[in-house]
């Protein structure tokens, strides 16, 4: 029977009143278990992630870090600086061709002269006398020729008379009027006159030859007489004067000839230099060149390579090369030293890397590259020109390769590294 309170109302059973409380307790317990489980799972997962991160970081710290960069492209042209020796385009000593005494000179050292300009005059009385003697010999030879020509005319007349006489005696002997002996005598006289005419014609040829010889000797002496005036053979500057007024000038007759002047053509200069063998194939006529001299700071004189010896010097392994430079103002002096800047085309495409990237190993020169998943590969290379902080690499690497900067001496191929761009900001 349901319980009846004193108030007279009917009350709920106790089990019905306690059921919601149990459910609440169970729900709280389940939530608590779920919360605790989630916390445990989260904590384990965080620990696992932390452990993995620590492991990865440990691995990363154990992996070497290297700075890498792409090589730079090399220049398509190389400027090679070589010592050069400046020389005059034409450099000539001036000697006399006529012996005598120096009458006067008109150009001293440093004088700029034109071709044909008179430099000096020589007094040569002996040569003048020889010219007069040769002229007399010519006159004598011509007179002898004229006499021989007159003899020829007379000889031809005698020969004609002898021919007529011989013809008459030949007719008479045929008629039996005169003896054969007398006829033979006149025939012989005619033949003698003919022979005399032939001899006179040959004598005329010889006389003409004597005249020609005498005239040639006269022309030679007159040409020598023209050498009493010493003239400049080309435009240039007098670099030496080795004589003075009254000095005996010997043209080499019975002794050593004396140099009177020295002249140099300086409007254009030759510059000789020795090109190393490595650049010899690129040093071809036509490439530009520039000269720098210490006395002209900041200035460059433009020239051009014009010719080479086309043969290597076996002692120095260099190629003798000539560069021509215009010098209209005469600022550059023959005999001076200059540095020649040759713009030589690069023989093969090349790249440039820092000097610190080069590894010198017992097996040869090597560069460290990053390939195949951050693995180090040491490749052999051929080096070119050294620029100081950088060096040219002729073969062995490509422009898109990653080159290890400043590698450790212990670096070996196959090691996995962590590459970092060399220009990346540091943290």
pLDDT higher than 70, residue 51 = no
User: Helix, strand, or coil here: 109?
Assistant: coil
pLDDT value of residue 61:
55
d(CA 166, CA 174): 12
Return the CATH fold of 349-421: 2.40.420
Indicate whether 248 pLDDT > 70. Answer: yes
Of 141-150, 249-258, 305-314, the least confident: 249-258
Task: Please check whether residue 66 is in contact with residue 318, taking contact to mean a CB–CB distance below 8 angstroms.
Answer: no
Query: What is the enclosing helix (H) or strand (E) of 14?
Result: helix 14-62
User: pLDDT-derived band of residue 53, with 50, 70 and 90 as boundaries?
Assistant: low
How do strand 418-421 and strand 65-69 relate by DSSP bridges? parallel
Give residue-wise pLDDT tens across range 260-299.
Answer: 999 999 999 999 999 998 888 888 999 999 999 999 999 9
pLDDT range class, residue 7, cuts 50, 70, 90 = very low
Close Cβ partners of 304 (under 8 Å, ≥ 6 residues apart): 286, 287, 288, 289, 323, 324
Task: Tell me if 266 sits within 8 A of 112, measured CB to CB.
Answer: no
pLDDT at 327 over 90: yes
CA dist 97 and 222 (Å) reads: 12
pLDDT value of residue 3: 45
Q: Does domain 264-345 have CATH number 3.30.2010.10?
A: no
- The CA distance from 100 to 228, in Å, is 8
Asked if residue 37 has pLDDT above 80, the reply is no
Rounded distance between C-alpha atoms, residue 418 and residue 404, angstroms: 11
Per-residue model confidence (pLDDT) at position 29: 77
CA distance 231 to 267: 19
Span 110-152, pLDDT tens digits: 999 999 999 999 999 999 999 999 999 999 999 998 998 898 8
More confident residue, 43 or 69: 69
Backbone angles phi, psi at 217, to 5 degrees: -65, -40
Checking if the pLDDT of 256 tops 80, the result is no
pLDDT at 8 over 80: no
How many Cα atoms occupy the beta-carbon half-sphere of 318 within 13 Å? 12
- CA atoms of 324 and 151, how far apart (whole Å): 69
Contact 345, 287 (CB under 8 A): yes
Q: Which residue has the higher pLDDT, 6 or 322?
A: 322
- Average pLDDT of span 83-108: 93
Average pLDDT over residues 368-381: 86
Mean pLDDT across the chain: 84
The pLDDT > 70 percentage for the chain reads 88
Q: Which pLDDT score is estimated for 6?
A: 44
Please tell me which residue, 61 or 200, carries the higher pLDDT value.
200
CATH code given to domain 125-227: 1.10.287.620
Q: What is the separation, in whole angstroms, between the first and last Cα of the chain? A: 86
CA angle 51, 54, 55 (to 5 degrees): 85
28-to-21, 150, 202, 228 alpha-carbon distances in Å: 11, 171, 164, 141
Within a 10 A sphere around the Cβ of 291, how many other Cβ atoms?
22
CA atoms within 13 A of residue 203's CA, in its CB half-sphere: 17
């Amino acid at each position: 029977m349901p319980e009846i309170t004193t108030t007279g109302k009917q009350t709920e059973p106790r089990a019905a009143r306690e059921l919601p409380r149990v459910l609440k307790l169970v729900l709280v317990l389940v939530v608590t278990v779920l919360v605790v489980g989630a916390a445990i799972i989260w904590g384990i997962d965080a620990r696992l992630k932390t452990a993995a991160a620590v492991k990865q970081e440990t691995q990363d710290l154990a992996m070497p870090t290297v700075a890498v960069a792409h090589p730079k492209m090399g220049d398509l042209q190389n400027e090679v600086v070589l010592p050069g020796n400046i020389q005059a385009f034409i450099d000539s000593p001036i000697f006399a061709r006529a012996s005598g005494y120096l009458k006067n000179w008109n150009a001293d050292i440093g004088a700029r002269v034109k071709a044909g300009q008179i430099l000096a005059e020589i007094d040569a009385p002996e040569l003048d006398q020889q010219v007069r003697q040769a002229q007399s010999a010519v006159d004598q030879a011509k007179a002898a020729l004229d006499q021989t020509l007159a003899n020829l005319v007379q000889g031809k007349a005698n020969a004609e008379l002898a021919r007529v006489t011989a013809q008459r005696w030949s007719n008479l002997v045929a008629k039996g009027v005169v003896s054969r002996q007398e006829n033979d005598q006149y025939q012989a006289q005619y033949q003698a006159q003919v022979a005399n005419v032939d001899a006179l014609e040959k004598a005329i040829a010889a006389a003409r030859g004597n005249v020609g010889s005498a005239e040639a000797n006269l022309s030679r002496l007159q040409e020598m007489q023209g050498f009493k005036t010493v003239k400049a053979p080309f435009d240039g500057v007098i670099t030496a004067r080795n004589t003075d007024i009254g000095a005996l000038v010997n043209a080499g007759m019975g002794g050593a000839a004396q140099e009177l002047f020295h002249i140099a053509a300086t409007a254009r200069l030759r510059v000789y230099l020795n090109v190393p063998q490595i650049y010899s194939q690129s040093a071809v006529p036509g490439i530009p060149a520039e000269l720098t001299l210490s006395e002209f700071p900041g200035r460059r004189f433009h020239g051009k390579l014009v010719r080479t010896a086309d043969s290597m010097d076996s002692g120095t392994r260099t190629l003798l090369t000539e560069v021509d430079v215009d010098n209209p103002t005469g600022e550059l002096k023959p005999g001076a030293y200059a540095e020649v800047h040759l713009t030589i085309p690069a023989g093969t495409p090349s790249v440039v890397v820092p000097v610190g990237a080069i590894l010198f190993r017992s097996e040869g020169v090597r560069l460290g590259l990053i390939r195949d998943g951050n693995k180090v590969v040491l490749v052999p290379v051929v080096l070119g020109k050294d620029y100081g902080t950088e060096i040219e690499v002729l073969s062995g690497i490509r422009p898109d390769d990653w080159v290890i900067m400043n590698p450790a001496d212990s670096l070996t191929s196959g090691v996995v590294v962590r590459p970092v761009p060399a220009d990346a900001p540091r943290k």
